[in-house]
Structure 1
C-alpha cells in the first residue's frame, strides 16, 4: 500500500516537474524574443498605425498635388465620371523622363482624387505622376532613385520604414523574419497567460488600486490578450506581403487548387499583333465587367507578361472586400484569368485574398481601420511593459545575489503576479 502511494506521489511530482519545465521553456522563448525583437514591433506598430490613414494624411499635407476641384457640370449631372483614359496617360507621358515606361496606374480614390501613374526609367529610377482626372493635366511629379533607401517624401519614408526598415531588399526579408519570430512570441505569451480554472476574470482585467508592479503586469497581459488576434493577423499578413512566393507555396501545399499570382500568367506573342495600350486594357475589362470602379492597372513587365486590371466597389460582390482582378493578354486582349470573391477555387485562395484587406483594415470599413490603428498604438505598450517586467526580474535576481531576505517587498510583489 505504501509503495502504491509512493508511486502515485512520484508520478504526480514528475508531471508537475514536466509542466514547470515546459512553462520555463515557453517563458524563455517569449522573454528573449520579446526583449530583442519586440523593439521592432514598436516601429512596425507605430508606422502601421500611420499607414492605416496614409492616403488621407498625404492628401492633407499635399492638397495641391493629390486633390482637385470637381467641375460644376459633374456635380450637377450627378452621374459617374467617365475618364478619358488616353488623354490622362498622354498627359503623364509628356512629363515623364526620357525613355520611361508606364508600369502601373492607380485610379482616383474619390471624386476629388487624382490618378497616380508610375513610370520606370532604364536607369532604374522612377517617377510617380499625378494627373487631374477631369482636366487631364498634371498636378505634380515625385521622383525616386533606384538605390534610394530613404525617400524625400514623408509617407514614402514611413512606407519604407514599415516594410523594409530602410534596408532595401534585405530589409524586406528581415521584416518578414521578425514577423515570424514575433508570432512565436505572441503564441508563447498566450500559453503563459492561459489562466487556471476559475481565474478568468483575474486574467482579463486590470486590478483596481494595484501597485506599480501589478499594474505593469496587468497592462502587459491585457493589452496583449485583447489585441492578440488582430496583431497575429497583422504579422501573418506582413509575412505574406514580404515573402509572397514562399507564403503562396506553403498555402498551396495545404490547398493544392490554389492558383499562383496572375503576374505568372503568360501572353502569347504574335508577329501579326501589336501590344495593346493601358487604356485598351481598361476598355476590355469594362466591356466584360461594367459594374466596377477603376482601382489600378498593372502593365506587362516583359514581352510575355500580362495586364492586370483591378476593379473595386463592385455592387453585390462582397460585403467585406469587393474587388476583382482581371488578367488580360497584351497581344490578343483576351481575358486569361479572373480573381474575385465569387471566382475563388479553393480555401487557400480565400485565405490569401484576405491577407491584404486584414492588414490594412479595409475589409471591415472604418471599424476595421480603427481597430488596426489601435493595435499599432498598443504595440509600444506591450513592449515597454514587457521591458519593465524584465527589469523587475533583474532586480529580484540581484536581490537574491546580494542575499537579501527572500521575503523582501519587491520579491513578494513579483511573486504574487507570476
Structure 2
C-alpha cells in the first residue's frame, strides 16, 4: 500500500470519527435535556391509553349507567332516548351555555358526554344517561384554568401542554421534534458499520453492569424506535395541527381540508337543523356506523360534522368516517373515510391520531403504545447512567495524566 493511499484511508477514518462525534454530541445533549420531558410524556401517555377505562373506574356514578333489563320473552333491544331529549337534558344543565360537541357512549354502559361553552370562556362537560335522558353529573372548567381539578384531565394537560397553557402546547411540539432528532442520531450512532448485527440487537448474557446498562439502552431504543417515532410525530401533528397540515399539503397538494373547514349556505327564513336531524342524514347515506361524535355549527355558515365509528366496510384498522353536512339544506358537503381519501397526504394525516392512541390496531396497538410509554423512562435513565459512566472514565484518565 502506498503512503498516499494510507494517508487517504487515515483521512477518511478521521472524518468518520468526526462525524460520529458530532452525532454523539447532538444525541447526548438532546437526550439529557429533552429526554427528561420524554419521561413525563411516556408515563402520562401510558396512562392515557386507558384513560376512559380509568376515568370510569374512578367515577362510576358519573360515567357509567345500568343497562335497563327487558321484560322476559321480549325480543327487541334496549334503545337510547332520542338525541333531541339527550341534548335538551344537557341544555338544562348548561344553563345558557352553547353546545359545542356531543360524544356518544363508549359502550352499552357508557354515557353521552356533551361539551358546552360560556361567553366568558368557561366550559363544561355534561354527562347524560342515554336510556333515561337524565344528567348524571357535570364537570366545570375555567377559561384560564391550567391545572384541572379532575385526575384524567390533569394528566391530559400535563401530557400535551406540561400545564403551561397554549405556550406549553407549542413547547411540547418543539420538544417532540428535538426528540425525533435525538432518536435519529441515536440510530446513526448505533448502526453496526462492522456488520456485528447480533451484538447490536441483543443483550449480552452475564455481562457486567456497565455493559448491561449499555445493551439495555440500545436495545430498548432500537426496538421501540418505530412506535416512539410515530408517537412523537403524531404529537407534533396534534399540537401544531395547522402548520403540520400545511407542510403535508406542500408535498401532497390534493390533500383536502378537514370537514369543519367547509361552509353552509344560509337561506333566508330557514333555521339550522338539529343534531338529531344531522345524525339521521348521516345514517341514511351511511347506515351501520355508531355515533362517535357530532360537532354542531360554530357560526351561521358553519357545518355539522358527524363522526361515525365502527363503520362497516371500511378499514379494519381505523373504521371511522367524518361527514360534513350543510346546516340548512342537509346537503353532504364532504366525506372523509379510508375509502374516500384522495391523496397520500390525507392517508398520512388520518393515521396520526390512531397511531398516537394505538386505537388503529385494537388492543394490540393500545398495549404497544402503553409499553412504548413505559420504555421512555428506561431509555432515559439508562442513557443518563451511560453518560455518567463515560464521564467518570474521562475524569479518571485526566487525573492519571495530571
Please indicate, yes or no, whether the TM-score normalized by the shorter chain is above 0.5.
yes
Correspondence for 2:170:
173
Aligned runs of 1:276-291 on 2, under 5 Å? Answer: 276-291=273-288
Equivalent-residue separation in structure 1 for 2:300 and 2:146 (angstroms):
29
RMSD: 1.5
**Could you say which residue in structure 2 is the equivalent of 1:368?**
365
Alignment match of 1:343 (pick from 340, 344, 350):
340
1:300 deviates by 1.6
| Pairing partner for 2:57 from 47, 55, 60 | 60
Aligned length: 401
CA contact (8 A) 2:68 2:78 kept: no
The runs of 5 or more residues in structure 2 that have no matched partner are: none
Q: Write out the 4+ residue segments of structure 1 that deviate beyond 6 Å after TM superposition.
A: none
Tell me the SS of whatever aligns to 1:240: helix
Q: Aligned to 2:264, what secondary structure does the other structure show?
A: coil
- SS, match of residue 403 in structure 1: helix
User: Any stretches of 5+ residues in structure 1 without a counterpart?
Assistant: 406-418
Pick one of 22, 26, 47 that aligns with 1:29. 26
2:124–2:141 contact (8 Å) kept in structure 1: yes
Alpha-carbon distance in structure 1 between the residues aligned to 2:78 and 2:197: 54
Q: 1:222 is matched with which residue? A: 219
CA distance in 1, matches of 2:66, 2:75: 15
Matched, 1:92 2:78: no
Q: How far apart, CA to CA, are the structure 2 residues paired with 1:82 and 1:140?
A: 18
How far 1:83 sits from its partner (Å)?
A: 4.0
- Which of 295, 298, 302 in structure 2 is aligned with 1:298? 295
- Aligned partners of 2:71 and 2:162: how far apart in 1? 43
8 Å contact 2:80–2:131 — kept in the other structure? no
Structure 2 counterpart SS, 1:344: coil
For residues 169-191 of structure 1, the C-alpha deviation after alignment (integer angstroms, 9 at most, x for no partner) is: 01111110000000000000001
User: 1:198: Cα distance to partner?
Assistant: 3.7
Q: CA deviation at 1:303?
A: 2.0
- Other-structure match for 1:207: 204
Q: 1:229 to 1:80 in 2, by over 3 A?
A: farther
Verify: 1:38 aligned to 2:56, yes or no. no
Structure 2 distance, partners of 1:295, 1:136, is 18
Q: State the SS of the aligned residue for 1:311.
A: strand
Q: Say which SS state the counterpart of residue 297 (structure 2) adopts.
A: coil
Matches within 5 A, 1:225-374: 225-374=222-371
Aligned residues of 1:74 and 1:81 also touching (Cα < 8 A): no
Q: Superposition pairs for residues 107-146 of structure 1, below 5 Å?
A: 107-146=104-143
C-alpha separation between the residues in 2 aligned to 1:86 and 1:305? Answer: 20
Q: Is the 8 A contact 1:311 1:324 kept in 2?
A: yes
**Mean alpha-carbon deviation: is it higher for 253-262 or for 366-375?**
253-262
Instruction: Tell me: CA distance 1:83–1:10, structure 2 relative to 1, closer, same or farther (3 Å).
Output: farther
Shift of 1:404: 5.6
Aligned-pair CA distance for 1:401: 2.2
Secondary structure at the aligned position of 1:275 is classed as: coil
**Distance in 1 between the 2:219 and 2:78 partners?**
47
Q: Residues of 1 paired with 2:121 and 2:242: CA distance? A: 23
* TM-score normalised by the chain length of structure 1: 0.93
1:75-126 alpha-carbon deviations (Å, 9 max, x no partner): 95464735411011101111113x3100000000110000000010011000
Distance in structure 2 (CA, Å) of the matches to 1:327 and 1:81: 26
Name which of 133, 146, 150 aligns with 2:147: 150
Q: Partners of 2:26 and 2:218 in 1: how far apart?
A: 16
Question: Which residue does 1:49 correspond to in 2?
Answer: 46
For 1:160, the equivalent position in structure 2 comes to: 157
Q: State TM-score, norm by structure 2.
A: 0.97
